[in-house]
């Protein structure tokens, strides 16, 4: 059972490594758009600092959404998804492996690159640690929730927009508590509360999303 998880984790990481340019595009989008904010709004650090937590979180969410589409698409096209569906092992474990690989390729680099953007958007010093902690947990939630939408829309040729509509409502709690974590830290309050709620969401998502995504894959394969 665990072998399905690690085998798919390793395979998807290898695939991402082979297509480095494509895999790096969410990160490049994240950095590029965030660079435009000071140019478009104001370079004044006091005003930037006010909006920095929200901006960073919105960009992280959009960058994740951008790459969720491709989670099962290539496997669907080349027939390996069908092979996965008829393998004897429990489907949720390989799916969780794929989601973990997706997070390691999108969410984790975003988290690691976020201090640079914090600097660019003059995020106050006390916001950095909460930002990285909330992004690490929050992007994992986004990958997990996104996988259900990606599984539901995998057989549609242009599923991108539908996917966004499906998962956007489920992304909202994540962005609310994610940016609240950073904001509370900047305002000098304890930030462990909103972060704990994010953690609880992650725990629920790890337990439920792979099963829901596996079910959705079986459902879409019927057509």
Partner 1 sequence: MPNTPLLSVERLQFERDDCNVFEQIDLTVDRGEIVQIEGPNGAGKTTLMRLLTTALQPTSGTISYAGQSIDLCRYEYLSDILYLGHQPGVKMTLTAEENLRWMAADSNASIQDALAAVGLAGYGDIPCYNLSAGQHRRVALARLLMTDAKLWYLDEPFTAIDKQGVSFLENCMSDHVKGGGAILLSTHQDLAIDGVRKYGISPHADQRGL
**Sites of contact with partner 1 (CB under 8 A):** 3, 7, 11, 14-15, 18-19, 74, 77-80, 82-83, 85-88, 221-222
Structure tokens at 51: 């909006």
Closest contact distance (angstroms) between CB of 82 and partner 1 is: 6
Of the two residues 22 and 44, which places its CB atom closer to partner 1 in the complex?
22
Asked whether 95 and 217 are in contact (CB, 8 A), the reply is yes
Nearer of residues 156 and 219 to partner 1, judged by Cβ? 219
Cβ-based nearer residue to partner 1, 2 or 39: 2
CB of 221 to partner 1, least distance (A): 6
Q: How far is the CB of 19 from partner 1 (least distance, A)?
A: 6
Shortest approach of partner 1 to residue 15 CB, angstroms?
6
- Tell me how far CA of residue 125 lies from CA of 53, 58, 112, in angstroms: 12, 20, 16
Nearer to partner 1, 30 or 76 (CB): 76
Closer to partner 1 by CB, 42 or 77: give it. Answer: 77
Name which of 92 and 110 has its Cβ closer to partner 1: 92
Q: Cβ 13 to partner 1, closest distance in Å?
A: 12
8 A C-beta contact, residue 148 and residue 171: no
CB of 85 to partner 1, least distance (A): 6
């Amino acid at each position: 059972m665990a072998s399905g998880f690690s085998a798919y984790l390793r395979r998807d990481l290898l695939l991402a490594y082979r297509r480095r340019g494509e895999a790096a595009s969410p990160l490049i989008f994240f950095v590029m758009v965030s660079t435009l904010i000071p140019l478009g709004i104001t370079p004044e650090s006091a005003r930037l600092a006010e909006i920095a937590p929200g901006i960073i979180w919105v960009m992280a969410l959009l960058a994740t959404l951008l790459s969720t589409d491709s989670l099962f698409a290539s496997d669907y096209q080349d027939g390996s998804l069908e092979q996965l569906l008829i393998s004897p092992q429990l489907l949720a474990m390989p799916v969780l492996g794929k989601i973990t690989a997706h997070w390691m390729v999108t969410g984790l680099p975003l988290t690691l690159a976020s201090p640079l953007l914090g600097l660019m958007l003059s995020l106050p010093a006390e916001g950095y640690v909460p930002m990285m902690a909330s992004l690490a947990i929050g992007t994992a939630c986004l990958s997990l929730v996104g996988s259900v939408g990606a599984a539901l829309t995998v057989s549609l040729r242009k599923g991108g927009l539908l996917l966004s509509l499906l998962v956007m409502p489920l992304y909202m709690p994540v962005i609310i508590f994610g940016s609240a974590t950073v904001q509370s830290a900047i305002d000098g309050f304890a930030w462990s509360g909103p972060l704990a709620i994010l953690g609880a969401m992650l725990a629920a998502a790890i337990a439920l999303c792979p099963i829901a995504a596996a079910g959705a894959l079986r459902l879409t394969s019927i057509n």
